[in-house]
Structure 1
């Protein structure tokens, strides 16, 4: 990648996003964050420049820099993605750690956060703007929709479908063939052996509705 990156967000996954770009020798130009208290501070010597909606910084996106949205909150993440789509006509780039394994025939969308030692297996499909934390395993032919978050060390087995906006906590196991519905939530450490309805929260071994 020739262009430097501006990271939207200076909390949560912003620091590991910086580390990901560093691991790939990509220059990070700076951070933008809505919290004015962060402006003028630094994260590992990289400055928080100002607000994500500031046209002075936005006008750099697409021409001189790329953008990555490093925000955990799905609602605000969607807002920033739409902001970049509408005002700069660009999609955020993927942040993929150098130690992640991406199968040659895995399909990826835009703006995904893929941390260290994540595995995307053969024929797996990852939508856009997903967050895959350290060591998550997405096995062959699993399909993840947009804005899905998968916690550290979770195992998504083969041919699982996870629909848009679903949250999978850390250390979760989802057995083959299960579907996790839109905006569903799976608590940390759960073992999911049957499909989960949209908007439902489940927890436990085996996972049951909370």
Structure 2
């Protein structure tokens, strides 16, 4: 059994902790957070983030904000954990997951999908065959990507959003909750509605 530390004691961390607990290969190492006001999470006391403790076990960065997660990951790349996958997720044997990524309960990841590092596949998300997600992407609960979708670095796909097959979504985009994406999306765009329209 391998110990995994968590960096970031947030609500997101609670779900990642459940993923660790659901997996017989992993157990919790240390729990860290930069906020001095935070003392514990679900009864687990926070540890002081000394260099020795940070390097003791591989860690997963449990911060939902993609930009902040990237900033911390850039400082801690040498100690990043392998992907953490909840036991209820359905993961194709031909898919690939980058280090530091987390897969929540009920996710479906289909054939030949490629997921970058430090991605979040949130509860009930569906990532179909041949999708390619760059690093730091967050797919929110119940969002669905049809086959051959490309998603650029740092983009967030909102809760319940749907993306039709073959679409390319650029870097650091925000796709609103429930949006239906039927056209390619350029870098940095914010898209809402059905059909999706760029508002920013």
Q: Which category of TM-score, normalised to the shorter sequence, fits these structures?
A: over 0.9
Aligned to 1:33: 33
- Are the equivalent residues in 1 in contact too, given 2:67–2:154 (CA < 8 A)? no
- Figure out how many residues of one structure are paired with residues of the other and give that number: 198
Gaps of 5+ in 2: none
Deviation digits for residues 2-23 of structure 1, max 9, x if unmatched?
3211100001310001100011
CA distance in 2, matches of 1:182, 1:99: 30
CA distance in 1, matches of 2:36, 2:13: 16
CA distance in 2, matches of 1:5, 1:91: 9
Aligned to 1:191: 180
Distance 1:27 1:202, change over 3 A: same
Aligned to 1:136: 125
Deviation digits for residues 116-153 of structure 1, max 9, x if unmatched?
01011101111110011100000001111110011100
Deviation digits for residues 105-125 of structure 1, max 9, x if unmatched?
001111111100101110111
CA distance in 1, matches of 2:28, 2:44: 7
Shift of 1:95: 1.4
Is residue 2:96 matched to residue 1:107? yes
- Are the equivalent residues in 1 in contact too, given 2:108–2:126 (CA < 8 A)? yes
Aligned to 1:200: 189
Provide the TM-score with structure 2 as the length reference: 0.94
CA distance in 1, matches of 2:120, 2:106: 13
The residue matched to 2:194 in structure 1 has which SS? coil
Provide the TM-score with structure 1 as the length reference: 0.90
Shift of 1:75: 2.4
CA distance in 2, matches of 1:180, 1:19: 30
Gaps of 5+ in 1: none
Aligned to 2:47: 49
The residue matched to 1:80 in structure 2 has which SS? helix
CA RMSD of aligned residues (A): 1.3
| Stretches of 4+ aligned residues off by more than 4 angstroms | none
